[in-house]
A and B are shown apart, each in its own frame.
Chain A
Amino acid sequence: MSIAEKNTSEAILTVENITLSFGAVRAIRDVSFNINKSEIRAIIGPNGAGKTSMLNVINGFYHPQEGKISFRGEVRKQMRPHEAAAGGIARTFQNVALFKGMSTLDNIMTGRNLKMNKWNVSLVPSMFYYGPTQKEEIKHRQHVEEIISFLEIEAIRKTPVGRLPYGLQKRVELGRALAAEPDLLLLDEPMAGMNLEEKEDMCRFILDVNDEFGTTIALIEHDMGVVMDLSDRVVVLDHGEKIADGSPDEVKNDQKVIDAYLGVSS
């Protein structure tokens, strides 16, 4: 599907008048925007603009002092983390938040956590393992293996993630987020620290996920080339406030954005 063919008119997530403060520090001031189903929405802005804080609010990790969040029709003042996760929101983190003590495979399997049948993996069956628990494990292992093939990380399946180079860790983290079969995928600087090849691979994966599964993606990213190529719409934050919201071209030419962030291109 190309961008023109996607049906991205209906909002899956809307944040309205969000204000978030930490004591005296106002991280987000009265920000409102929406994210449409199946679109790729970029959130950009200089450092400290409140982008990661915004994702944390959507996730339910931070609780805004004011404002509302509507996700799939339900309006609430605050999300709780497991509600967000159960509702189909998955994310990656700026500083890779993988479980360093486990292998790639196990890390991605943790992403399947909410999809597993609670009874089959409860305490007593788990102690016996052979039987319901094993069947459940294998069923989900198949899903995870598909993700592993998709992300081309078969070779490092059993490697403890602490030993992987940074670029691969970020890929594994994407895999863990994908394992949850999310409706909304929040990516916090997924290309940070990557070289050109790795970035191109990541872009490919993101586009494929959006194409094949229709997953809505919200993306914080500093590489403007990536933002322009990938995203359907862009929202720009600066010092906790929204200064622009529209298509990549509109935003690129917006004077406020140029002053605050982009600068003049040569």
Chain B
Amino acid sequence: MEFINLVLIGPILEIAEYPAFFLEVVFGGLMSGVMYSLVALGFVLIFKASGVFNFAQGVFALFAALTLVGLMTGTMPFSLDKVLPELPAWAAIIATFIVMVGLAIAVERIVLRPLVNQDHIIMFMSTIGLAFVLEGLGDTIWGSEVKALDVGIPTGNFMIGEIQIQIFDLWAAGVAAFLVVVLAVFFQSTRTGRALRAVADDHQAALSVGIPLKNIWIIVWSVAGLVALVAGIMWGSKSGVQFSLSLIALKALPVLILGGFTSVPGAIVGGLIIGVGEKVAEVYWGPLVNGAIENWFAYVVALVFLLFRPQGLFGDKIIERV
């Protein structure tokens, strides 16, 4: 009885007693959920188009953010001593995007092309290797201290009734929504989008109908790079550009399990659910077990989902043929 009181009734009473606070927590959760969704989007893109789960997506975001900061502050790469001109935010963003495209080309050449048609598990492990390389490269070129990032997104907050809302979070939500719409349209309606879906299904078959695998992959990974850049800007502005950004890759896995690996709307919904779930669990149930539920909450939820709905909320069911 005591146990039920503690675990179920107590927290729920707390929620009911201070509804405004609860809404604030939910809102905060939604906002961090949006951040997860942004990163998960990049994963979905690459998975839809190459059938590969890009473990390095989080590191892409980190690398993009690092490059952005470096360009904006006029840092010389490799800690050499000269001072470079500082670039304004818009120029730096464009320049960073060009870097990400270059990265996509390099990845296609060095990692994807040699591994065409290999087992998915092998491709996944190669992206783990890629993550490590990029991490080390980013640190070597730009240094590993925490950096602040400010591209001019408005800060400050305002109140709706008793709930405090951050302007920054609204911007993040808006950007994410915009990206989702653009990407969804891209996949469904354009020729390139169709080609991407063909490639995800079967590399060899796509090749045999004349789809240029190489170009498709460069396009997809560049778009994923763009998504990573946006995610990097959002996360970096909020919490500073640091190593933990790359750990988001790991959080994205539960988001994708919930939403389905191949679904763009699923990534959004999954991200929001995980974001809210984590925050609410931490605030209301965390104190019962001494805190830090956030470390594992998302994964356990994903595990439970695996039991009942492995393809996620919006993913495709897989039909096997012999």
Interface residues, chain A, CB within 8 Å of chain B? 22, 52, 56, 61, 93, 97
Q: Contact: A22 with B322, CB < 8 Å?
A: no
- Kindly supply a per-residue 1/0 record for chain B positions 283-322, scoring 1 wherever the CB is within 8 Å of any chain A CB and 0 otherwise: 0000000000000000000000000000000000001001
Q: Contact: B319 with A61, CB < 8 Å?
A: no
Closest residue of chain B to A22, judged by CB? Answer: B319
Residues of A within 8 A of B319 (CB): 22
Chain A nearest CB, measured from B208 CB (Å): 16
Residues of B within 8 A of A97 (CB): 322
Closest residue of chain A to B320, judged by CB? Answer: A61
Interface residues, chain B, CB within 8 Å of chain A? 319, 322
Closest residue of chain B to A56, judged by CB? Answer: B322
Across chains A and B, which 5 residue pairs bring their CB atoms closest together, nearest first? A61-B322, A56-B322, A93-B322, A22-B319, A52-B322
Residues of B within 8 A of A56 (CB): 322
6 chain-A/chain-B pairs, Cβ below 8 angstroms: A22-B319, A52-B322, A56-B322, A61-B322, A93-B322, A97-B322
Chain B nearest CB, measured from A56 CB (Å): 6
A97 to B319, CA, bound (A): 18
A22 to B319, CA, bound (A): 9
A56 to B321, CA, bound (A): 9
Closest residue of chain B to A94, judged by CB? Answer: B322
Chain B nearest CB, measured from A177 CB (Å): 14
Residues of A within 8 A of B322 (CB): 52, 56, 61, 93, 97
Chain A nearest CB, measured from B117 CB (Å): 13
A56 to B319, CA, bound (A): 14
Chain A nearest CB, measured from B101 CB (Å): 37
A120 to B319, CA, bound (A): 37
Chain B nearest CB, measured from A126 CB (Å): 25
Residues of B within 8 A of A93 (CB): 322
Chain B nearest CB, measured from A188 CB (Å): 9
Residues of B within 8 A of A22 (CB): 319
A237 to B319, CA, bound (A): 24
Residues of B within 8 A of A61 (CB): 322
Chain B nearest CB, measured from A185 CB (Å): 17
Closest residue of chain B to A93, judged by CB? Answer: B322
Chain A nearest CB, measured from B202 CB (Å): 13
Closest residue of chain A to B319, judged by CB? Answer: A22
A93 to B321, CA, bound (A): 12
Residues of B within 8 A of A52 (CB): 322
